[in-house]
Structure 1
Amino acid sequence: MSEVIKDVTVENFKDTVVNHEGVAVVDFWAPWCGYCVRMMPVYDELAANLGDKVVLAKVNTDEQVDLAKEYQIEVLPTFAIFKNGEIVDRKIGYVPLSELQAAVEKYL
């Protein structure tokens, strides 16, 4: 995992994502999810491309059940794009880098 991507928990989610002024992308994932594992290199590449402009975070939904419930995560992986603490877009399932990056750049 890229050093830019932060593992977040219920304890630090608010400080890392909700209170961030600007764009944050949260990868809601689980280790047993095949598409989640396939998206890891794509998310790392997104971090290499945009890590200096956005906050990138990962939430393991097996360990952070309350966050998954709060944000109504029903399908994995779900990439939630936040702007100034509010979800403005979601991408679900396997998403090509170009599509995910374009969705994020729309809010920069």
Structure 2
Amino acid sequence: MEHNKIIKLNDKNFKKNVLMTKCLILVDFWAEWCSPCKILMPILEDLLKEYKHKIKIGKVNVEKNVLLTKKYFIKSIPTLMLFKNGIVKETKIGFISKNQLKDLLNNYI
């Protein structure tokens, strides 16, 4: 799994890329039609550059990955979940700013 690009997560690769990794990974649950999700995308790309080698970022399309959507009780998007050592450390529902995301990440780095 690479640190320099956002990972497309799905029902099949989630366990390997998120649950079985020790690093800090921010998972964005999103959908194509979600405007706040689209606004969040460039922010996530910026964070990946700023926090190079410290975090990984993955995206789960909720419409294409129903098992994950149900498993993590995703009712509203975007939903951001921060995992470390395969465990959910924090969950943020709805759009949050870049500074709020940086504050969240800095608590775990």
- Short-chain TM bin: over 0.9
CA distance in 2, matches of 1:21, 1:62: 27
Q: What does residue 29 of structure 2 align with?
A: 28
Contact 1:24 1:54 in 2 (8 A): yes
Task: Quote the offset at 1:86 in angstroms.
Answer: 0.6
Structure 2: runs of 5 or more not aligned: none
Using structure 2 for the length normalisation, give the TM-score: 0.92
Deviates more, 1:63-72 or 1:45-54: 45-54
Residue 64 (structure 1) aligns with = 65
Aligned equivalent of 1:19? 20
Whichever residue aligns with residue 43 of structure 2, its letter is V
Cα offset for 1:47? 1.0
TM-superposed CA distance for 1:92, in Å, is 1.5
> What letter corresponds to residue 25 of structure 2 in structure 1?
A
Output the amino acid matched with 2:77.
Answer: L
Unaligned ranges ≥5, structure 1: none
- CA offsets 1:33-72 (integer angstroms, 9 cap, x no match): 1111111111111111113111210000010011011011
Residue number in structure 2 paired with 1:8: 9
Q: Structure 1 residue 29: deviation in Å? A: 0.2
Q: Is the 8 A contact 1:81 1:89 kept in 2?
A: yes
Please tell me the residue identity of whatever aligns with 1:21.
K
Work out whether residues 4 and 51 of structure 1, in 8 Å CA contact, stay in contact via their aligned partners in 2.
no
Question: 1:91–1:100: 8 Å Cα contact kept in structure 2?
Answer: no
CA RMSD, 1 decimal? 1.4
Report the count of equivalent residues: 107
Partner of 2:48: 47
Q: State the TM-score, normalizing by the size of structure 1.
A: 0.93
Percent of counterpart pairs with the same letter? 34
